[in-house]
Chain A
Amino acid sequence: MIRSADPAVAPTVHPLEDLVRMDRIPHIWCPGCGTGSVFTACLTAIKQTGIPYDQFAMVSGIGCSGRGAGYINIDSFHTTHGRAIPFATGIKMANPKLNVIVFSGDGDLFAIGGNHFIHAARRNMDITVVCVNNLTYGMTGGQVAATTPHNARSSTTVMGNPETPFNLPLLAYAAGATYIARWSMLHARDLADAIAAALRRRGFSFIEALSPCPVNYGRRNREKAIDTLRHYQEKAIIKNGAHPAELDMSDARGPILGNFLDIEKPTHDEIYKRMYRPEEG
């Protein structure tokens, strides 16, 4: 809450305050980190949908972004490393009326949790996955991730990353996701709109949010937070509807952003109910 120094002026309540556990603020995210902006976009999206807050649950794994569940003022779960998606799957299957958001990082969702991601997408589990992609293992101290660019330095690839990173939208597409978008934390409104669209629809939705990690990624790769933002602002190519195969993160050009896919497919809980509990209508 921002309070005016002038007692005559009523305290200005932040428009998202009702969605934040104010008793847990300040948060742990570093100066220059983008996770807070992605989190804000997520809260904005929840508010935009107009769906009562009690009908949402947020699940996070471990890591910097994994702390998101600890700051949102709805039913929220901070689970084990990589397992936010199966936890969310259990919630959704046991109570399909709930809107389940997975908010976690690239390390959590795509290295240790990669198997769960592809299977939830394959099943068209009706959940929304927001991935804060900072290209590294931030909380653990900047080790190489499944998204770290080729040649980039990390604390476990000091001579440069010998591996090829995932193209996350393509992975989601191949596995069967029905909604795919990628925005940067700088494109706050587009990002919030994409998350809101994902929350309003049924099916497995995946939103990749590019976000700087100046402390653990930027420091090793001579990239200040402001440089990353400038890169997003000047180099990003917005291409809604782009085919996921062309969305690899290339050194040669900036990242391609946009809303790439939005298709209708019956969700897993709908099919299960229709096939196994038809008497419930």
Chain B
Amino acid sequence: MTSRVLTGEHFINGDIACAEGAIAAGCTFFGGYPITPATEVAEHISIRLPRVGGTFIQMEDEIAAMTSVLGGAWTGAKSMTATSGPGFSLMMETIGLAVVTETPCVVVNVQRAGPSTGLPTQGAQADMMQARWGSHGDYEIIAVAPASPQEMFDLTITAFNLSEAYRTPVFIMSDEIVGHMSERVVIPEAGKIRTVSRPRPAGRKDRFRLYRPGPNGVAPMPAIGDGYKIHVTGLTHDEKGYPVMSVETQKEMIERITGKIRNNIDDIVMTESYRLSDADIAVVSYGVSARTSFTAVDEARKRGIRAGMLRLVTVWPFPEKQIRALAQKVKGIITVEINMGQISREVERCAAGRVPTIGVGHHGGAIIPPEAVIDAMEKEVMR
């Protein structure tokens, strides 16, 4: 068996860094289906997982891949899949099952331009709302947006930790550019990597309730074979996990699965502030678009525009508090993303008319040049 954590400096692309992050986080099951530009995650993990005692299987389609991940997760394995937009769409029904059965798992979406087959080899950030609302029904979800191969490693570990801690699917909303970009990635020593595992039940098995929440709203989760005789269903269910078709049970269940995210939002949400302390104009961005936005902020400062940036590391749940605070501070907010206005609408909602908000978007297939962001700032300042 080879080492689980490949401590050292590497020059690898984002997809491979993501696969290594998963293994470092303790992933032992990967069910996948190849799709550009996420394929390298599956290819790399297919080689690495068996060497650390785990299992890879390439399923017959994305629906099967996502479903196998749920089966794997209930054996106690930290489980994962990787896909891109069209595959993400196919997985959506099963992602809903993961949400309602409170199954921890990680789904990587290396986004490409769409709709439909779109531009398979070129990036976009246009699945952001699909990540939020793609499955049916009411739910909350967690999604992080890495901006570099290093973050593909780091945030994959974070994604596993959040999924285990909150018993929910967690999305890594990457894109083709970050996925295929090669940079230096530093993998720390195994002992310095913090990993979280789902809470496991203890106590009398005959009194066990599958969905009786602990103090943070999350219930301990047994594995198949532990002897708890669990029943897991996608139907509306009570604390025992049994289906109950009533308005009251639906209310309790939905409040639990949304509450465990909403009530712990400060523990989940991560943002990064850059030159914001004296800023007049704030750029809000995430993922690959944040990289050009940093450059745009620096360039704007040289031109006398007091610009700063709030980078959304967590995109869902949406960092509402941070955006509201920003709207109290600055004179205008520009949201930069490779889509036609998905997160910018959220920013506009949270700014709630306190300051002007505009979106700098792109149709997909290319990154947004810093000039486009600076142009928007100048217009904003002139106004």
- CB within 8 Å for A78 and B75 given contacts A24-B242, A70-B242, A89-B64: no
Q: Complex Cα distance A87/B242, Å?
A: 19
- Chain A residues 199 to 236 lying within 8 A of chain B, measured CB to CB, are none
A57–B228 alpha-carbon span in the complex (Å) = 12
B146 at the interface (CB under 8 A from A): no
Q: Are the C-beta atoms of A76 and B232 separated by less than 8 Å?
A: yes
Does B67 count as interface, using CB distance less than 8 angstroms?
yes
Output the nearest chain B residue to A91 by Cβ-Cβ distance. Answer: B71
Q: Chain A 80-98 against B: per-residue CB contact (8 Å), 1 yes, 0 no?
A: 1001011111111111011
In the complex the two chains form, is B68's CB within 8 Å of A78's CB?
A: no
| B235 touches A (CB below 8 Å) | yes
Find chain B residues with CB under 8 A from A59 CB. 71
B28 within 8 A of A: yes
Q: Mark B32-74, 1 if CB is under 8 A from A, else 0.
A: 0000000000000000001101010101110111011111111
Q: Is the contact region of chain B dominated by helix, strand, or loop, or is it mixed?
A: mixed
What residues of chain B lie closer than 8 Å to A88, measured between beta carbons? 71
Q: Which of B65, B67, B70 has the most CB of A within 10 A?
A: B67
A57-B224, A87-B67 known; A74-B229 Cβ under 8 A: yes
Number of interface residues of B (CB under 8 A): 45
A251 within 8 A of B: no
Flag if A79 contacts B60 (CB, 8 Å): no
Chain A residue nearest to B97 in the complex (CB): A80
A94 touches B94 (CB 8 A): no
> Chain B residue with minimal CB distance to A119?
B60
Closest to B231 in A: A76
Is B121 part of the binding interface, using a Cβ–Cβ cutoff of 8 Å?
no
B68, B71, B74 — which one has the most chain A CB atoms within 10 A of its CB? B71
Q: Enumerate chain B residues within 8 angstroms of A23, measured Cβ to Cβ.
A: 242
> Quick check: is B382 within 8 A (CB to CB) of the other chain?
no
Q: Are A86 and B225 in contact (CB under 8 A)?
A: no
Bound-state CA distance A188–B336 (Å) is: 65
Q: Are B70 and A87 in contact (CB under 8 A)?
A: yes
Residues 36 to 87 of chain A near chain B (Cβ within 8 Å): 53-55, 57, 59, 69-70, 73-80, 83, 85-87
- Max count, chain A CB within 10 A of own CB: residue among B28, B57, B234: B57
- Is the beta-carbon distance between B233 and A89 smaller than 8 angstroms? no
Task: Kindly state whether residue B230 has any CB partner on chain A within 8 Å.
Answer: yes
Interface flag for B217 (CB, 8 Å): no
**Quick check: is A279 within 8 A (CB to CB) of the other chain?**
yes
The answer to whether the Cβ of B1 comes within 8 Å of any Cβ in the partner chain is yes
- CA of A75 to CA of B231, assembled, Å: 6
Q: Which of chain B's residues have a CB closer than 8 A to the CB of A187?
A: none
Please tell me if the beta carbons of B1 and A279 are within 8 angstroms of each other in the complex.
yes
Q: Count the A residues whose beta carbon is within 8 Å of the partner chain — how many?
A: 40
Choose from A76, A78, A279 the contact partner of B235 (Cβ within 8 Å).
A78
| A residues less than 8 Å from B230 (CB atoms) | 75-76
B 239-275 binary contact with A (CB < 8 Å = 1; else 0): 0001100000000000000000000000000000000
Tell me if A86 and B231 are in contact (CB < 8 A).
no
Question: A79, B67: Cβ atoms under 8 Å?
Answer: yes
Taking a contact as CB atoms under 8 Å apart, the answer to whether B231 and A21 are in contact is yes
A80 proximity list for chain B (CB < 8 A): 67, 93-94, 97, 234
By a CB distance below 8 angstroms, the chain B residues around A93 are: 29, 31, 55, 57, 68, 72
- Is B69 a contact of A83 with CB atoms below 8 Å? no
Known: A57-B224, A94-B72. A89 touches B57 (CB 8 A): yes
Other-chain residue from B29, B97, B226, B235 in contact with A94 (beta carbon distance below 8 A): B29
* CB pair A78 B61 closer than 8 Å: no
Q: Mark B203-246, 1 if CB is under 8 A from A, else 0.
A: 00000000000000000000111111111111100000011000
Q: Which residues of B contact A70 (CB under 8 A)?
A: 231, 233, 242-243
Taking CB atoms, residues of chain B closer than 8 Å to A90 are 29, 31, 57, 67-73, 75, 79
Q: Does B77 contact A (CB under 8 A)?
A: yes
Contact of A54 among B55, B73, B76, B227 (CB under 8 A): B227
> B233–A78 contact, CB under 8 A?
yes
Indicate if the CB atoms of A276 and B50 lie closer than 8 Å. Answer: yes
Contact (Cβ within 8 A) B68 A86: yes
Shortest beta-carbon distance from A24 to chain B in Å: 6
Partner of A115, one of B60, B79, B227, B233: B60
Q: Residues of A contacting B31 with CB < 8 Å?
A: 86, 89-90, 93
- A85 to chain B: which residues have CB within 8 Å? 64
Considering the chains assembled together, what is the distance between the CA atoms of A119 and B64 in angstroms? 10
Q: Please give, as numbers and ranges, the residues of chain B lying within 8 Å of A69 by CB-CB distance.
A: 231, 233
Q: Which residue of B lies closest to A81 (CB)?
A: B93
Q: Which residue of A lies closest to B94 (CB)?
A: A80
Separation of A31 and B4 alpha carbons in the complex (Å): 56
Report the Cα distance A103→B223, complex, angstroms: 20
Taking A53-B229, A70-B243 as given, write out 4 further A-B residue pairs in contact, using a Cβ cutoff of 8 Å, ordered by the A residue number: A76-B232, A77-B71, A79-B67, A86-B63
Q: What are 12 A-B interface contacts by the 8 Å CB criterion?
A: A23-B242, A53-B229, A75-B74, A79-B97, A86-B68, A88-B71, A90-B75, A90-B79, A93-B57, A276-B50, A277-B51, A279-B1
3 A-B pairs with least C-beta separation: A90-B71, A90-B68, A276-B50
